[in-house]
Structure 1
Amino acid sequence: MTTGTLALIVLAIAVVGFILGRQRALSLVSGDSRKLHSRPGYYGQVVLLFTAVPALLLMLAWLFLQPIVVENRVSATIPDGVVPEGGSRSLVMSDVRRIADGLDALMSAGRFSEDDLTDMRADFVDVRTRLGEVGVALGSDVQPPVFEAAKLYRDNTSTGRALMTGAVLLVALGLLVWSFTRISPAQRARNASESFVKALLLGASTVAVLTTVGIVASLLLETFNFFKMYPARDFFFSTTWNPQFRGGSDLGIIPLLWGTLYVSLVALLVAVPIGLMIAIYLSEYAGKRVRGFAKPAIEVLAGIPTIVYGLFALITVGPFLRDWLAQPLGLGNSSSSVLTAGLVMGIMLIPFVSSLSDDIINAVPQAMRDGSYALGATQSETVKQVILPAALPGVVGAILLAASRAIGETMIVVMGAGAAARLGLNPLEAMTTVTVKIVSQLTGDTEFASPETLVAFALGLTLFVFTLGLNVLALYIVRKYREQYE
């Protein structure tokens, strides 16, 4: 039974429990709901919640723990001689999982039976051929013990799923009966239902916090492993980025940080003036009809996928700057450059700056405008000397949030700025950023056992700390502004 089917069965049982619980509550008072402590629906909700929630939580916990237990058991049965020299047991387990999935596919298609599994060692060549028929490509170094491990992996996984199905259904049915028998007219069903819902809401609210903790913990762990293999001093202070997976790598982050800041600076130089002028016009000068049309039209830019901006940079902006600016001035011959990526990224950031700034400017109290006009100031003088100074903290916060968005961008940089890690001031040269190198270092079938792959986590942690600082600063400024003017 699949996980989705099991979840649907549990939900169906819970719905039945809701109906039965509501009917039992009414039957206990002969249909007179006024004699019940709570409305009849609350009694059904109690049965539904006690039936579904514990069973689904058990299923989620089982799905999380079962792969860990099965892999540990199977890995312990693999002989040391099967592990390739210079490799690791995790690579062998990868083959085990693929073979187990292939065996499931063969059995689902009816081209493999349980009897074939018992003769798998004897029919080693035949099994390899059949696995190739379902798209499981195996290297020449895969040995018969790996097939035996795959068989054990599949058997344990199937047994675990069967046990999970039985345990989840047993818990659901048991709690349904228990909660059903506890129904009485004096039962505080509403209190129990609302407490249950509050607990669910609290659990949901902690998901973001736990996700952040998990991300930071994984980054810290792998970064610590990286710095055990590569000196932290060379990583933070070296000006050379030259990863070589066969040894002799130079993994200095300075060129990547420079490219990230350079591209982001160009993007902000484009987005901030244009976005701020749009915000001023829409909030202070535009009529309702113009504002009602222009603001949604500008915000459409925020909904365009970044890959589309990347294609625009690659096909249109890059060749234009190369042919009309870089080559005539003798500053470069490539369509990939900092200026290309910065211009396109700036266009992408315009809605972020304009929309946030517009909301902040509109939040400035109308009394400040009226006081300025009463003193004889014109509208332009009011904007320059009253509104903008009052909205400045919020505008700065909007700019910092846009900067965080620019620093984390990847696709536009890949297609517009190139992948060259270098230090330079020429905006018409190709450069790259931290996010691009994170992707490139983790592209392909690589194992997290070398500095060239683990460096991606160190880059990610550095970028995380940098953008987190900008976000905290922006939120602090915006919060201070709101406390002052709301």
Structure 2
Amino acid sequence: MQNTNFQNQRGREDGRSLDRHASDDLQEKLIQAILFSCALISVFTTFGIVFIIFSVTLEFFQEVTLPQFLFDTQWTPLFAQKRFGIWPLINGTLLTTAIAMFVAIPLGLSAAIYLSEYASPKVAGILRPAVELLAGVPTVVFGYFALLFITPVLRNFFPLEVFNALSAGLMTGIMVMPTIGSISLDALQSVPRSLREGAYAMGITKLEVITKIIFPAALSGIAASIILGISRAVGETMIVVIAAGQQPRLSLNPFQTVGTMTAYMAQISGGDSARGSLNYKTLYVVGAVLFLITLALNIVSHWIANRYKEKY
């Protein structure tokens, strides 16, 4: 009788254990399905955006020829005499981006090297959050700071127009600097400590260790941070809208007013152009060009990261 009761109790425990395992498996599958659905939503959203952009872009090229778009040197779709040469917008975008990178790369890499190799843990614990705090400042604040402070100061030394590429580029560089600095710092700190100690044991100075050991070993992460910074600068909107102006111009003079792709998109999306009109379609064709530029930058970033990861 006791054996029978024991077997019955053991059977009930086994049954409850199987029920728990089944419940756990069901929960695991449910969580997996939810996470998979979230991933699908992001993928379908991306494909939907790309489909809409390029479908309207094709409609644009049914009214404007590709040679007009690629070889004309004026962009005046809102004027009576409409011209659709994209190069003035690309010129303004690349000009402000180049100025921004001239500021962001030296400052970001210098900050990363100092925090990684020279600063004490206490100082690094204070400075790193302070540097990263810049990333949380709204870009509209940067834009008005460039227009109302940077431009008046620079006009004491340079013949700047009120809206100009120089002020916008400088403030965009300050905005991008925390991105480059933070990612580069993570890349530098990920270099194994043994490489540093081995180099110091051979009598190499700290500067030589940084330039010949640590920097090359972290080059993939540093290159990725720079390209990510370029992508952010290319896609920046509020700073260039406020400080650079909205006059597309094919010129490399940073003292003049320029128009960027994002500034033009902000201008068109204000609602002055009727939906379905040619002016409205220019919003999508400029967005398509901007998408292709950022896509190319991301591809280059992945290529550089993979290549130098294999090397080092």
Provide the TM-score with structure 1 as the length reference.
Answer: 0.59
Task: Tell me how far apart the structure 2 counterparts of residues 360 and 197 of structure 1 sit (CA, whole Å).
Answer: 33
Give yes or no for the alignment of 1:454 onto 2:281: yes
Give yes or no for the alignment of 1:435 onto 2:266: no
| 1:325 counterpart residue number | 157
Task: Tell me how far apart the structure 2 counterparts of residues 282 and 266 of structure 1 sit (CA, whole Å).
Answer: 25
Q: Match of 1:425, SS?
A: coil
| 1:38 counterpart residue number | 19
Q: Match of 1:352, SS?
A: helix
Query: Among 155, 175, 195, which residue is 2:29 paired with?
Result: 195
Residue 448 of structure 1: how far off its partner (Å): 2.8
| 1:297 counterpart residue number | 130
Query: Is the CA contact (8 Å cut-off) linking 1:394 and 1:481 kept in structure 2?
Result: no
Task: Tell me how far apart the structure 2 counterparts of residues 441 and 242 of structure 1 sit (CA, whole Å).
Answer: 12
Q: How does 1:204-243 map to 2 (within 5 A)?
A: 204-243=38-77
Task: Tell me how far apart the structure 1 counterparts of residues 13 and 245 of structure 2 sit (CA, whole Å).
Answer: 71
Task: Tell me how far apart the structure 1 counterparts of residues 311 and 94 of structure 2 sit (CA, whole Å).
Answer: 32
| 1:344 counterpart residue number | 171
Give yes or no for the alignment of 1:284 onto 2:265: no
Tell me which amino acid in the other structure corresponds to 2:87: I
Task: Tell me how far apart the structure 2 counterparts of residues 244 and 337 of structure 1 sit (CA, whole Å).
Answer: 21
Task: Tell me how far apart the structure 1 counterparts of residues 303 and 241 of structure 2 sit (CA, whole Å).
Answer: 32
Task: Tell me how far apart the structure 2 counterparts of residues 306 and 349 of structure 1 sit (CA, whole Å).
Answer: 11
| 1:185 counterpart residue number | none
Task: Tell me how far apart the structure 1 counterparts of residues 187 and 308 of structure 2 sit (CA, whole Å).
Answer: 9
Tell me which amino acid in the other structure corresponds to 1:462: V
| 2:143 counterpart residue number | 310
Task: Tell me how far apart the structure 1 counterparts of residues 245 and 211 of structure 2 sit (CA, whole Å).
Answer: 40
Q: Match of 1:38, SS?
A: helix
Task: Tell me how far apart the structure 1 counterparts of residues 101 and 147 of structure 2 sit (CA, whole Å).
Answer: 20
Q: How does 1:114-133 map to 2 (within 5 A)?
A: none
Task: Tell me how far apart the structure 2 counterparts of residues 234 and 35 of structure 1 sit (CA, whole Å).
Answer: 75
Q: Match of 1:292, SS?
A: helix
Query: Is the CA contact (8 Å cut-off) linking 2:223 and 2:304 kept in structure 1?
Result: yes
| 2:291 counterpart residue number | 464
Residue 254 of structure 1: how far off its partner (Å): 0.2
Provide the TM-score with structure 2 as the length reference.
Answer: 0.91
| 2:212 counterpart residue number | 385
Q: 5+ residue gaps in structure 2?
A: 1-8
Tell me which amino acid in the other structure corresponds to 1:219: I
| 2:5 counterpart residue number | none
Task: Tell me how far apart the structure 2 counterparts of residues 381 and 196 of structure 1 sit (CA, whole Å).
Answer: 54
Query: Among 245, 256, 261, which residue is 2:94 paired with?
Result: 261
| CA displacement, residues 274-328 of structure 1 (integer Å, 9 cap, x when unaligned) | 1111111110010000000000000000010101111111111111112x122xx
Residue 479 of structure 1: how far off its partner (Å): 4.1
Q: Match of 2:218, SS?
A: helix
Residue 198 of structure 1: how far off its partner (Å): 1.6
Tell me which amino acid in the other structure corresponds to 1:325: F
Residue 240 of structure 1: how far off its partner (Å): 0.3
Task: Tell me how far apart the structure 2 counterparts of residues 288 and 189 of structure 1 sit (CA, whole Å).
Answer: 47
Query: Is the CA contact (8 Å cut-off) linking 1:417 and 1:432 kept in structure 2?
Result: yes
4+ long deviations beyond 6 Å:
none
Identity across the alignment (%): 40
Q: 5+ residue gaps in structure 1?
A: 1-28, 43-187
Task: Tell me how far apart the structure 2 counterparts of residues 356 and 193 of structure 1 sit (CA, whole Å).
Answer: 36
| 1:375 counterpart residue number | 202
Tell me which amino acid in the other structure corresponds to 2:117: E
Task: Tell me how far apart the structure 1 counterparts of residues 212 and 28 of structure 2 sit (CA, whole Å).
Answer: 52
Q: Match of 1:239, SS?
A: coil
Task: Tell me how far apart the structure 1 counterparts of residues 125 and 48 of structure 2 sit (CA, whole Å).
Answer: 42
Residue 244 of structure 1: how far off its partner (Å): 3.2
Residue 392 of structure 1: how far off its partner (Å): 2.1
Max radius of gyration: which structure? 1
Query: Among 357, 360, 365, which residue is 2:187 paired with?
Result: 360
